[in-house]
């Protein structure tokens, strides 16, 4: 029986390995992590992450051929294939701070693999890493000269949170990059055989290591660029009376462009887009490609602009101040169907409103009060001066209230900001919400989920990103 071990039981490692275990009953899969609480949660009825369909997949194979363990070294030593799916956040200090990927978790995982291994292994880069990481990892794995054959493969993950199970079950493509040597090709074939259990052969693409590493960064950069492009258009639509939804529809009908990822919004969030683009910017700078670096930097800058534009719109609409006013924030996760709040636009929007002394009442169906308070307790990260990261003032956090119901959040509010596109926000009783609010009642839709005409008929003053403003 082939044995797989995955280091890192997070948003990628957990669901990805659960899908491999489900589709490959002849393979033993063990997911390990140094975070014991996370492993305990994977072994419980309350999984550490919310992802539609994940509970069912885990239940189907946990204890059969899927295991979660904090005994990292034992399971790494026993594995034939070791996936490394640890976090690769942006460096916050030192060389490249604010842009470069922090590979300390990766390096310590690689050193541990080198130390505990007694047999040949295929080591798979599942985390998103800078191009040429495999070269560094090879050096680390072979530093102690034990004569073990380590083959490094790049197998970046393209799942999106919220649709991870669907994406894993029917991936658009699986990418495997390896060395162009006989051993490298053998390793590629071994990993291909795992995915071939359920992915059609034509969707498994093999290529050289560096192309595979760059492809992941390129895909995220181009996806984020589409969002920044439509968001930039949304500002022009608002200035001219055009409707960005109509523009996106017209543009997306062009088969060369296509309709996906053209929804204007308050801005993208999540742990990947900003981090991966900044990493790309850093790699370009290191290679002397300043103009290319500046081009990609704009994608992040437009995203920041969109978030601050939203806050300015809220404040200016509400007679130029939200001081002392209650603002209901509906949605805190960075997108629907996840409880993940990493880099969510909601953090920046809330900080902006708190900066003008608003009182905020937050409701999100999947994010805990603790998480929201933790996220808001830190000031906005200053990428140019990462050392300036300071806790937020205690007075500001006192102005935040987290509640478990949209009606409770909006009761007595002067304004409502919709910051995550949860389906339930489309079905709320907006007449009831209107009746419970201060007048004039303002609603600012950062995800374009509400029916603007219906809400205006109820009496709301409505702002929806990129749509014509209230007459």
Residues annotated in a binding site for NAD(+) = 8-13, 33, 38, 86-90, 127-128, 161, 272-275, 342
**Residue 254 to residue 244: CA distance in whole angstroms:** 16
Residue from the set 58, 72, 224, 419 that interacts with ligand NAD by CB under 6 A: 72
CA distances from 362 to 51, 94, 134, 407 (A): 21, 35, 43, 11
Q: Please, which of residues 263-302 interact with ligand NAD by CB under 6 A?
A: 271-272
Distance CA 279, CA 99 (A): 5
Please give the size of the binding site for ligand NAD, defined by CB under 6 A: 26
Among all residues, whose Cβ is closest to ligand NAD?
Answer: 10
d(CA 356, CA 135): 49
What is the layout of strands, in order, in the sheet containing 400-402? Answer: 400-402, 359-363, 326-330, 415-418, 442-445, 461-464
Tell me, yes or no, if 272 is annotated catalytic. Answer: yes
Please provide the size of the chain in residues: 471
Interface with ligand NAD, residue 162, by CB under 6 A? no
- Choice between 10 and 415, CB closer to ligand NAD: 10
Residue 368 CB burial class (10 angstroms; 0-12, 13-18, ≥19): middle
Among the candidate windows 4-12, 134-142, 227-235, 436-444, which touches ligand NAD by CB under 6 A?
Answer: 4-12
- Residue 62: CB minimum distance to ligand NAD, A: 17
Please pick, from the candidates 47, 79, 103, 109, the single residue that binds ligand NAD as defined by CB under 6 A: 109
Instruction: Considering the complex, state which of residue 79 and residue 462 has its C-beta at the smaller distance from ligand NAD.
Output: 79
Structure-block tokens of residue 71: 């005994």
Give the integer Cα–Cα distance in Å for 339 and 355.
Answer: 25
According to DSSP, residue 4 is labeled E
What is the rounded CA–CA span in Å between residue 231 and residue 267? 7
Q: Which residues are CB-contacts of 79 (< 8 A; sequence separation ≥ 6)?
A: 3, 4, 5, 30, 121
Out of 5, 272, 284, 417, which one is annotated catalytic? 272
Q: Which of residues 10-69 bind ligand NAD (CB under 6 A)?
A: 10-13, 33-35, 38
Please state the closest distance from residue 121 (CB atom) to ligand NAD, in A: 15
Q: Which of 23, 50, 85, 307 binds ligand NAD (CB under 6 A)?
A: 85
Q: How far is the CB of 256 from ligand NAD (least distance, A)?
A: 26
- Residue 186 CA to chain centroid, in angstroms? 33
Nearer to ligand NAD, 11 or 150 (CB): 11
Q: Which residues are annotated as a binding site?
A: 8-13, 33, 38, 86-90, 127-128, 161, 272-275, 342
Q: Which residues are known to be catalytic?
A: 272
Interface residues with ligand NAD (CB under 6 A)?
Answer: 7-13, 33-35, 38, 72, 85-88, 105, 108-109, 127-128, 157, 159, 161, 271-272
């Amino acid at each position: 029986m082939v044995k797989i071990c995955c280091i890192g039981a997070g948003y990628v490692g957990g669901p990805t390995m659960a899908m491999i275990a489900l589709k490959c009953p002849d393979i033993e899969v063990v997911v390990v992590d140094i975070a014991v609480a996370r492993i305990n949660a994977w072994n419980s009825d309350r999984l550490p992450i919310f992802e539609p369909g994940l509970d069912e997949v885990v239940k189907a194979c946990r204890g059969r051929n899927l295991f979660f363990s904090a005994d990292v070294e034992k399971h790494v030593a026993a594995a034939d294939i070791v996936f490394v799916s640890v976090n690769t956040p942006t460096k916050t200090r030192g060389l490249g701070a604010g842009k470069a990927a922090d590979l300390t978790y990766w390096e310590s995982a690689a050193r541990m693999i080198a130390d505990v291994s007694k047999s040949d292994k295929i080591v798979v880069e599942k985390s998103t890493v800078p191009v040429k990481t495999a070269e560094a990892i090879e050096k680390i794995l072979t530093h102690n000269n034990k004569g073990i054959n380590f083959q490094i493969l790049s197998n970046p993950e393209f799942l999106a949170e919220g649709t991870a199970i669907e994406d894993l079950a029917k991936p658009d493509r699986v990418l495997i990059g390896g060395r162009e040597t006989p051993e490298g090709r053998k390793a590629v074939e071994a990993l291909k055989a795992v995915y071939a259990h359920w992915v059609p052969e034509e969707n498994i693409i093999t290529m050289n290591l560096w192309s595979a590493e760059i492809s992941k960064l390129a895909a995220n950069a181009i996806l984020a660029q589409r969002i920044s492009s439509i968001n930039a258009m949304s500002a022009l639509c608002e200035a001219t009376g055009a409707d960005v939804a109509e523009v996106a529809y017209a543009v997306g009908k062009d088969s060369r462009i296509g309709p996906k990822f053209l929804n204007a919004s308050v801005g993208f969030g999540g742990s990947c887009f900003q981090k991966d683009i900044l990493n790309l910017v850093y790699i370009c700078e290191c290679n002397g490609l300043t103009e290319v670096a500046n081009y990609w930097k704009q994608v992040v800058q437009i995203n920041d602009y969109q978030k601050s534009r939203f806050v300015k719109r809220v404040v200016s609409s509400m007679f130029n101040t939200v001081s002392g006013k209650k603002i209901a924030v509906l949605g805190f996760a960075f997108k629907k169907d996840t409880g993940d709040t990493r880099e969510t636009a909601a953090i920046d929007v809330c900080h902006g409103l708190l900066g003008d002394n608003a009182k905020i009442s937050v409701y999100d169906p999947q994010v805990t009060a603790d998480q929201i308070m933790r996220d808001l307790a830190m000031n906005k990260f200053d990428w140019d001066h990462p050392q300036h990261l300071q806790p937020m003032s205690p007075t500001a956090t006192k102005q935040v209230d987290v509640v478990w119901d949209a009606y409770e959040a909006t009761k007595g509010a002067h304004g409502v900001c919709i910051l995550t596109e949860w389906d339930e926000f489309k079905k709320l009783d907006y007449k009831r919400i209107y009746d419970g609010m201060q007048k004039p009642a303002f609603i600012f839709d950062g995800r374009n989920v509400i029916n603007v005409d219906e809400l205006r008929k109820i009496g709301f003053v409505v702002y929806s990103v990129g749509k014509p403003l209230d007459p």
